[in-house]
Chain A
Amino acid sequence: NAGVTQTPKFQVLKTGQSMTLQCAQDMNHNSMYWYRQDPGMGLRLIYYSASEGTTDKGEVPNGYNVSRLNKREFSLRLESAAPSQTSVYFCATLLGGSTDTQYFGPGTRLTVL
């Protein structure tokens, strides 16, 4: 099993460009998350999805959109990238119910020039 996979691993964008970060899981988990990691800030939640077709904003949703079209995949879209969105992005999954351990993907390192 691959667990949680993310593509691409690295990306460089120019200000104003758009792109979609992909996350897929084969763990049959219900919940999925997008976080961003910035130096000295820890990880902060961007968006959350409890199940297929449902999404909720996290702590820092501005400038992002998400899509959960099926149970396996949860994508994060930047419509018009800004330098402030330079960060490392992590996807995570959670089985749900009373379970409490999130599993993380390897991350996407994004630079916006």
Chain B
Amino acid sequence: GNSVTQMEGPVTLSEEAFLTINCTYTATGYPSLFWYVQYPGEGLQLLLKATKADDKGSNKGFEATYRKETTSFHLEKGSVQVSDSAVYFCALSEPPGGGADGLTFGKGTHLIIQP
């Protein structure tokens, strides 16, 4: 079956540091890939997505590139802010939207940004 593996935290960085959160996946076919963010006490919000190899998703200064050859979708940001403190989930869907299997999620990475 499908699976997503991401680095577990917490990850603690200083403001303006460079961020990388690693995500790798296993899928039987050609999935769509997502990063969702969950701020304290809230639900999940879509941060970015990519649907085919070499696509780059980007939003709010975050980027991730769909690497089929390494089955990875690492999340990066050049300069993090305190407001980026949240839990980040890598996820995949196969078929589109997930169908009866829903989205397959990683366990989440808790990011803490210190002033």
Residues of A at under 8 Å CB distance from B? 4, 31, 33, 35, 40-45, 48, 50, 56, 58-59, 90, 92, 94-107
Contacts and interface: CB of A to CB of B under 8 A. Distances in A.
Interface of B: 4, 8, 32, 34, 36, 42-46, 49, 51, 89, 93, 96-103, 105-108
Interface centre among B34, B43, B46, B51 (most CB of A within 10 A): B43
B96 A100 contact: yes
Contacts of A98: 96
Given A90-B43, A96-B97, A100-B32, A48 B107 contact: no
A100 B89 contact: no
A41 B107 contact: yes
A31 B97 contact: yes
A98 B8 CA distance: 31
A99 to B, nearest CB: 6
Nearest to B96: A100
Nearest to A88: B43
A43 B28 CA distance: 20
Contacts of B43: 4, 90, 104-107
A42 B102 contact: no
Given A42-B89, A99-B96, A35 B102 contact: yes
Q: Which 3 A-B pairs have the closest CB atoms?
A: A45-B102, A42-B105, A100-B96
A106 B43 CA distance: 4
Contacts of A99: 96-97
Contact of A100 (B8, B42, B51): B51
15 contacts: A4-B43, A31-B97, A33-B102, A35-B102, A42-B107, A50-B100, A58-B100, A59-B102, A90-B44, A92-B103, A94-B97, A100-B97, A102-B97, A102-B102, A107-B42
